[in-house]
Amino acid sequence: MSQDYINLLADLKEQEVIELTKKRLAAKEDPMKILEDSRKGMEIVGQRFAKGEYFLPELVYSGEILKQITDLVKPHLSQSSVKVKRLGKVVLGTVAGDIHDIGLNIVDFMLDVNGFEVTNLGVDVPKEKFVEAVKQTGAPIVGLSGFLTPAFDAMKETVEALEKAGLRSKVKIMIGGGQIDEEVRKYTKADAYGKDAMAAVTLAKKWIGAS
C-alpha cells in the first residue's frame, strides 16, 4: 500500500491519494507511517522538479495536496503510538517582499515529522519579526526562505538584524529557495544553504548534534 500511496502522490493524483489517506486512517494505520510515505512522495516530486519534468505549477499543486493530507492526519497524531521526541526549535519564514510558501511549508512539514518544534512565521516576514521570534522561542536555528532575487537583500538584512540584536552568535542560519547557491550564502552571511527540504533537516540535525 505504501508504494502505491507514494506513487499516487508523486503523480499528483489528488482524489485517489486523499481517498487512500482516509482509508488508511479508518484502518487505524499509524499516522506517522502515512506522513513518512507523504515525505517520500514529495521527495519524488522534488526530484522531478529538479530534472525539469515538473514545473512550478506542479510543485504548488503538490504542496496543496500535501496540506490536505497533513490536515487529515494531524488530528490522529496526538493519539499516535509514536511520540516524536522533540530535538530542538527552529524559526522559519519567507523573508520580506516574497510570498512563496510552497518550499517553506514542505520544510516546515519535514522538520516537524523529523522531530523539530517549528515556529513558522509565514510569508513576507519583516526582519524584526524574525528577531522577536528568536527572542521568544530561544530557537538555535533560523531558516530563511526566498524564491525571488530581491529576497537575497531581505535575507542579508535579516541576518544583520539578528546581529544587531546580539543574537547572531546564538543561532545558526540556513537559507533556501529557488535560486539560492553558495554565492548567495556568502552575500547574505548565512551559515549554510539547503537545496531542498531534506537538506534543511540534515543541516538542522547536524547543528544540534543529532545527525
User: pLDDT tens digits, residue range 10-67?
Assistant: 999 999 999 999 999 999 998 888 988 987 898 888 788 878 999 878 888 888 898 8
Mean pLDDT along residues 98-106? 80
C-alpha cell at 152: 537575497
Instruction: Say what the pLDDT of residue 83 is.
Output: 53
CB distance 104 to 93 below 8 Å: yes
DSSP structure class, residue 53:
S
C-alpha cell at 22: 482516509
Mean pLDDT along residues 205-209? 93
Domains and CATH numbers, the chain: 2-77 (1.10.1240.10), 88-207 (3.40.50.280)
pLDDT band at 85 (very low <50, low <70, confident <90, very high): low
pLDDT band at 81 (very low <50, low <70, confident <90, very high): very low
Q: What is the mean pLDDT of the chain?
A: 89
Instruction: Say what the pLDDT of residue 80 is.
Output: 47
Q: Is 115 left (phi over 0), alpha (psi -120 to 50) or beta?
A: left
